Structure formats: C-alpha cells, structure tokens
Chains A and B, each alone.
Chain A
Amino acid sequence: MAVYIAAKMADTSEVRVDQLEQISGGASRQTYRFRLLYKERRQDQERRLILRRDPSQSLLDTDRKIEFTAYKAFFGTDVPVPEVLWLEDDPSHLGSPFFISVEMSGLETAPSRMLMEPYASHHQELAEQKWSILGTIASKDPSKLGLVGPMEWIEPDQCWKHELDYWEGVLDSDELIPQPIIRAAIRWLRRNPPPPAQKVSVVHGDYRTGNFLFDQQGRIHGILDWELAHLGDPLEDLGWSLNRVWCWAQDDRRGGLLPREQAVAIWCRASGLKADPDALHWWELFATVKGQAIWVSSAHAWETGENKDPILVLASWGLMNSQDRAVLELMGHLG
C-alpha cells in the first residue's frame, strides 16, 4: 500500500504505512484504518486514512466507482462526507479493487452506541440533522453535482419500476426459501404504482442510522456507505430511512430516534419537497422489498460460501422476519 500511495503523492519521500487495522464497515467492502507517514519538504507528516477494499464477492454487486464519485461530489457541500483520495480498479496492487479516504476519527456509527449515554441525550439533535441532511441531498440538482453520467439517468415516471424490477430480480435469483409475504407486497406495488417522482434526485440508497458518523454532542459529521447511490425518486430514501427494521430502540421511533411523522416533517422542510402520503406509503412498502432482497441475498452469499462474514447470518436471521412484519403493518394486517 505504501508503494501505491508513494506513486500518487508527488514531492514526498519515505512513505510508510503502519497501525493497519480492520474495522467494521459492512459486509460489502473490507474496511481498514491505517496511519500514513511521509516526509514533505523534509518535514515529518502523518495522516489517518481508511481503505475500502472489495472482497472476492460483495454482498451486492455495488459499483465502487459510483460510491467514490458520490463522495467526491458531496465533499465540501452542506452534505458532510469524508474526503476520498484515490480509487483503484486494478486488482494487482492489493489483490482487489479499492479506494482510500481520510479517516474522521473519534466518532461513532453503531446504533447500539447511539442508544446509550452520552449519545442518548442527543436524539432530537441527531434526528434533526439526519433527516435535514437527507432532505438536503434530495434538494440538490444531480447535474450540478456532476453525477448525471456517472449515475444512469432515469425518467421521473420510471423510477419506481426500475427499482422494483431490480430488487425483485435479486429476490428471484437469491431466494433460498419461499417468501409469501414479500411476494404479496410486490404484487400490491405493481397493482398500485406511485405517481411520477416530483424530481429526479440523488438517492443515497442506504440512508439509515448506522451509516453516519456522530459525536458525543449529537452532531453528524459524515454520511457513509454510498455504494447503492443512484438517481431516482427522493421518496425512495425517505421510505428506506423509515423502515421498521431500523427501529433500533425496539419501539416506534424511526432509526431509534423519533416518531415517523416528525421525521417526515423535517425532511419536507429541508428538501422543499412534498411527501404525498400515498406515494410515501408506496416507497415505504418498496423499502421492505428492497430490505428483504438484501437479507435474502445475505443468506445466499453466506450459504454458498461466497462471503463468510457472520454479519450476513445475523442480518438474515435477525431482519427477515422483522421485514415481513413491516409489510404486514404497512398493508394493514398487523392488528
């Protein structure tokens, strides 16, 4: 890695890497933190960096270029993200493609930590920022961010169909056991399509508690995991963020933070967009299909040996049934 980075950094010498340590970063990429040491104009320099490397088989076939491009597009805007430095597709350097970013140190991501003090006292502030930032993402013009091109353009009336077709396809290919509840949801979604998107925006794709960095004062410093980012209906992200499986506090608070209606109101204020109740209901139900497709895919990847990370077992065992119950609730069958 030091050899690779040295070639990227002109006017530096004695480039070294130490304190390399794997950290939790989801099942789709191997994530490591490390310290970069080098000399620049004869002065010792040090940087804390993050390496995100593709495993031999990712949980989902996500595009690291999309993720890298999204980070680059939002860096320096009012959507906080870590700075990304280098993207490498050539597997000869580190065994598989990777990218390197700057580490934002001393921050938390884990939902379990967020439920404990000192973070628990700051849920209102965290929630305000969480859904405001999501609204800000939705309010941006993707072409001004330079993301139309790197991300495939989609017409407003095709957003729902494109996503539903894709995730139903994942279920079709990876399903290990029949899923009668999610199949009923898919039939309902196709019979009752939503209106065209009020605008086509950047959709983060996995915007939830667990995918942002926060501090002990309840401030959010970085939105992470853009690997499912795409252009689409901004209600898709809002629906995903409200998914019942992210109710980490085992109550009705979305993302473990606050009630659904309040989250929606914050998002509307920040985005300047409307959350039509019927359209949002469609996207919330869609989120259950997408979620179930991911858990089904996790089970498939682990059982076939493509990826042996125990998080895949935990995700599929822990979340599949909750996801089914979310369908039942949204379709009015859960009493």
Chain B
Amino acid sequence: MRPAVNVVCQRMAQDLVERVIPAISPVYHQGTIGMIASILAAVGEEWDRAASRRIEENQSLRDLFRKAAPLVNKPTLSRRLRELAEAGDEDLRVSALEGNNCALRAALIDLHAHIESQPGPDAREIEDAIWKELVASTERRKFSTAQF
C-alpha cells in the first residue's frame, strides 16, 4: 500500500499542526486537533512495528514458559504454561496476535506471583528472566515522544 501508512499518518499529523490548527478557533478546538495529531503520529509509529513486536514478545514469553514450567509445583499453572508454550501465532493479524499476547501476559502474572514465593536459585533465575522480559516489553512499546 503506497503511500506507506506510517508516512501518511506522520504527514497528516504534521499538516494538522502546521496548517489546520492555526486556521481554527476557539483555542479549545485547537487543543483537540493537536491531540488528534499526536494520536495520528503515534498510530504511524505503531503501524510499522505492530505485528513484529507482538510476534517477538509472544515467542519470548513462550520460551520463558517452556523453561519455567518444570519448576512450577502448581499442576494447573504448570499445565497452562506448557499449553501456551506449545501454541503459536498462526493468524498474523494484529488483533489475533494481541489476543495471544494478552493470554500470555495474563499467565506471566500468575507465573511471576508463584515464582516470587518459591525458594532456591532456580526460582531466582526464572524471576530474573521474567524481569528481563518485562524490561524488554517496555522497550518494544516505547514511543519516540515518551517523557520516560
């Protein structure tokens, strides 16, 4: 699709800021258009990475679950982790990838809570891996305009 969606969003956001906002009143509506321009710019930034960041994260979480499942002494959680680890991202639409990501991140919360309560170096190793994955998850989602 050309022009590319991310470029369209970025340029339209720029147009709103540079041409439309100065031409409208009252100031309140200028603010609203400014916010819509920022949203459009964010859509443009997200568009290009939307599928890849979800596929990368889903795979990373499945790898983590594969490693963690044998150490989990709660049978239902252990089984859930194994099942999620064996699944894949067959449907590459962003909505489907997002659905898988939500299921994986919900299980990650349960795994994290469980592993925190477990003693021993194996549990600490998994806990460290979880925190590393959580740090990576924020890098994947970061917008260039973010304050932090």
What residues make up the interface of A, taking CB atoms closer than 8 Å to B? 21-24, 177-181, 183-184, 187, 244-248, 250, 310-311, 313-314, 317-319, 321-322, 324-326, 328, 333-335
Contacts and interface: CB of A to CB of B under 8 A. Distances in A.
Interface of B: 26-28, 31-32, 35-36, 38-39, 42, 98, 102, 105-106, 108-109, 112-113, 116, 131, 134-135, 137-138, 141-143, 145-148
A177 B102 contact: yes
A179 B146 CA distance: 19
A24 B134 CA distance: 35
A23 B28 CA distance: 5
Contacts of A181: 134, 137-138
Contact of A22 (B26, B108, B109, B112): B26
Given A23-B27, A23-B28, A181-B138, A318 B109 contact: no
A314 B39 contact: yes
A324 B135 CA distance: 9
Contacts of B26: 21-22
Contacts of A183: 109, 112-113
B35 A314 contact: yes
Contacts of B35: 310-311, 313-314
A314 B42 CA distance: 9
Secondary structure class of chain A's binding surface, majority of residues? helix
Given A318-B143, A321-B138, A334-B135, A180 B108 contact: yes
B102 to A, nearest CB: 5
A184 B108 CA distance: 10
A163 B39 CA distance: 31
Contacts of B135: 328, 333-335
A311 B134 CA distance: 27
Nearest to A250: B147
Contacts, number: 91
Nearest to A252: B148
The 5 closest A-B pairs by CB, nearest first: A178-B105, A310-B35, A22-B28, A178-B106, A321-B141
B28 A184 contact: no
Contacts of B147: 244-248, 250, 318-319, 322
Given A179-B109, A314-B35, A318-B38, 12 more contacts: A24-B31, A178-B105, A180-B105, A181-B137, A183-B113, A184-B109, A250-B148, A313-B35, A321-B143, A324-B141, A325-B148, A333-B134
B35 to A, nearest CB: 4
Contacts of B145: 318
Contacts of B116: 187
B105 A177 contact: yes
Contacts of A24: 28, 31
A21 B35 CA distance: 19
A274 to B, nearest CB: 27
Contacts of B142: 321, 325
Most buried by A among B109, B116, B148: B148
A74 B11 CA distance: 47
Contacts of B112: 180, 183-184
8 contacts: A23-B27, A180-B105, A250-B146, A313-B35, A325-B148, A328-B134, A328-B138, A334-B135
Contacts of B36: 310
